[in-house]
Amino acid sequence: MSMFLHQPHLAADDLFSALRVLFPQTQPMRSTTTAGVEVVGVLVASDRVRDVWDEWRGKHGETGWWPYVSRMSPEALTSGGLLWEGVDAAVLENMVAEVVCQDHDARAASIVVSSFLGSTDPAYLAEGELEEWLDDYDPDRLAPRLSPAIAEPLPGTSRWVPEDPNTWYGRSQWWLHFVPARGGYEVPVMLPGLIRTGNGTHYLPSADDAALLRRWHEQWGAELYFASGSYLELVIDRPPLDPRSAAQAATELMGYCEDTVEDPRAAGDGMVRSTTWTLWWD
């Protein structure tokens, strides 16, 4: 038995049978990646998918399967080269071992610093430009520019899973996938290439995705809700409400996905303090 791969408490056959009973009109589907990771999925009505996701993430401790919403079926996900090629069982074991053993806070910090240094070389900035650059990238300098602390989180609205089938991404049903993982932060490692873009603007290895997602999970209760290609959405149970924490989250999000968080001040006063973080890469 693997030392590092997560072993779910509920067998895949039992999960599949339970979903067949609960969703008799939309029979579940199962598929397996080249590395042997089984993905079980079921179609859920758009107006119910958030509630069903909430219910099953609440059961994660007893099932060992993490649910997330997707636009595609398990079979479509695991075939056609959508996931990274060349990841067999041995490679996956090493990837998961790296994630389990890594200092995720230190790795997350390194990712953010590397991103900032890669965006602009401070050595080529004039003195005034350097100060403006630091105002955006240093949480201690950003925090005084944010709004005062608020008592309650801002309401978060999903951008990628709308209930209205007439909207751009709207549809009457969504796939709810189940993946054997310790938490949502581990899903990008179990399904390497799940978060990716065609033009390479998201270039991080899965272990980096996992490091940031786990840090945000522990700091602010961030949970993986939706993932499909260049689109990612997190549900935030304890969003940062005070300026210093919001500044920290805003700079980390900008380091991870500058395509979305171009203005850390706007993000720190808005999305960061809400219950939904929506990210996308151009």
Residue 166: pLDDT over 90: no
**Percentage of the residues of the chain whose pLDDT score is greater than 90:** 75
User: Residue 226's closest CA among 167, 126, 166, 159?
Assistant: 159
Please give the model's pTM, rounded to 2 decimal places.
0.94
Residues 210-242 have pLDDT tens digits of 999 999 999 999 999 999 889 999 999 999 999
CA angle in degrees (0–180, nearest 5) for 267-273-275: 115
Q: What is the DSSP letter of 263?
A: -
- What are the domain boundaries of the chain? 12-103+148-280
pLDDT at 64: 98
Give me the amino acid identity at 67: P
Per DSSP, the residues of 72-94 read: S-HHHHHSTT-SPTT--HHHHHH
Per DSSP, the residues of 142-205 read: HGGGSPPP-SSPBP---SSS-S-TTSTT--SEEEEEEEE-SSGGGHHHHSTTSB--TTSS----
Residue 1: pLDDT over 50: no
Q: Which residues contact 219 (CB under 8 A, 6 or more apart)?
A: 240, 249
**Percentage of the residues of the chain whose pLDDT score is greater than 70:** 98
Q: How far, in Å, CA of 101 to CA of 94, rounded? A: 11
